[in-house]
Amino acid sequence: MTAEIISIPRASLHEQVAQRLRQMLVENQIAPGAKLNERELAEVLQVSRTPLREAFKVLAVEGLIEIQPNRGAIVSRIGPREARDMLTVISRLEALAGELACRNATDAEIAGVRALHDRMIELFAQRERMLYFGVNQSIHIEIVRIARNDVLRTLHAQLHARMKRIRFRGNDIPHNWAAAVADHERIIAALEARDGRRLAALLQKHLDDSWDRLEASLAIDGAPKASQG
C-alpha cells in the first residue's frame, strides 16, 4: 500500500474511510483472513484512528470484516457454499427489483440506466476491467433503487457489499466477461421495453450464471451449483 495511491483528505468522514477500505478489499489489496493494522492504515490513509475504527464498524455490519476480541479487525473469508447461497438470494432480489423497476421507474431513470450501460460497453471495449466493474455494479444498484422498495434495497445492499470482492473475480476469464456483457445487452433492452417478467427472468439467470463464472475463475471443485429458477 502506498500513501500516493490510497491517501484521503484529513477532513473526510468515516464513510469515506469505509469506502476506501471497501475498494481495497474488492481489489484484493488486503487478502482475506488478513489482520487490519490500525496504525499502518491510519498512517497510509492519513486519518486518525477514530474515523478508522468507525469505518471498521461499518464494514463489520456489511460482513466484509470481523472484529474479534483481543485480535482486532480481520478481513472476512467467504467460502464456496456461502458465496453460492448469497448469489442465489441476490438473484431473486434483483429479479424482483427488475419487475418493480419496470412498473415504478420514470423514463428519465431508465434513460439513466441506459447511459450507465453505454459507458460500461465503452469500458469493455477498452478492457478497463476495474472501471468496467464499477459501472457494472452501479447498473445493478440503480435497478434496485428505481424499484422503489426500501426493504428490498436494504437487503440487497447488505448482500451486495459482501459479495462485491468475489464477484470482481468472475470476469477475469475473457469469455466469461463477454458473456456477462451479452447478458447486460438483453437486460437493458427488457428494461427499456418495461417488460417486467422478462427482465426478472434475465436478471435471475444472469446472477445464477455468475456462479458458474466464479467456479471457473476461483477453481472451485465439487461445490454444488445454485438452483436455476
- Which sign, positive or negative, has the C-alpha torsion 20, 22, 26, 32? positive
d(CA 93, CA 96): 5
Give the pLDDT band (50/70/90) at residue 200.
Answer: very high
Over residues 99-127, the mean pLDDT reads 97
pLDDT at 227: 37
- Is 225 domain-assigned? no
Shared-domain flag, residues 111 and 159: yes
Per the CB < 8 A criterion, the answer to whether 136 and 120 are in contact is: yes
Give mean pLDDT, residues 115-122.
98
- Look at residues 20, 50, 75 and tell me which one is the last residue of a structural domain: 75
Q: 98 and 64 in one domain?
A: no
Q: Are 202 and 229 in contact (CB under 8 A)?
A: no
Asked whether residue 225 carries a pLDDT value surpassing 70, the answer given is: no
With contact defined as beta carbons under 8 Å apart, do 1 and 44 qualify?
yes
Which CATH number goes with the domain that contains 27?
1.10.10.10
Say yes or no: 110 and 191 in one domain: yes
Q: Give pLDDT tens digits for 59-78.
A: 888 778 899 887 889 988 87
* Mean pLDDT, residues 88-109 taken together: 97
* pLDDT, average across residues 150-179: 80
List of E strands, the chain: 65-68, 72-75
> Is residue 125 located within the same domain as residue 174?
yes
Q: Are residues 118 and 169 in the same domain?
A: yes
pLDDT of 156 above 80: yes
Q: Is residue 223 part of a domain?
A: no
If asked whether residues 148 and 185 sit together in one domain, one would say yes
**How many domains does the chain fold into?**
2
Smallest CA-to-CA distance from 56 within 23, 14, 26, 25 is with 14
Which band of pLDDT confidence, cut at 50, 70 and 90, is reported for residue 217? low
Rounded mean pLDDT of the chain?
Answer: 84
Task: Look at residue 224 and tell me if it is in a domain.
Answer: no
Whether the CA torsion 219, 221, 223, 226 is positive or negative: it is positive
How far, in Å, CA of 206 to CA of 199, rounded?
A: 10
Confidence of residue 173 (pLDDT cuts 50, 70, 90): low
Instruction: Report pLDDT digits (tens) over 3-59.
Output: 444 555 544 558 888 888 887 887 778 888 899 999 999 988 888 888 999 999 888
Q: What is the pLDDT of residue 226?
A: 39
Tell me what pLDDT residue 171 has: 58
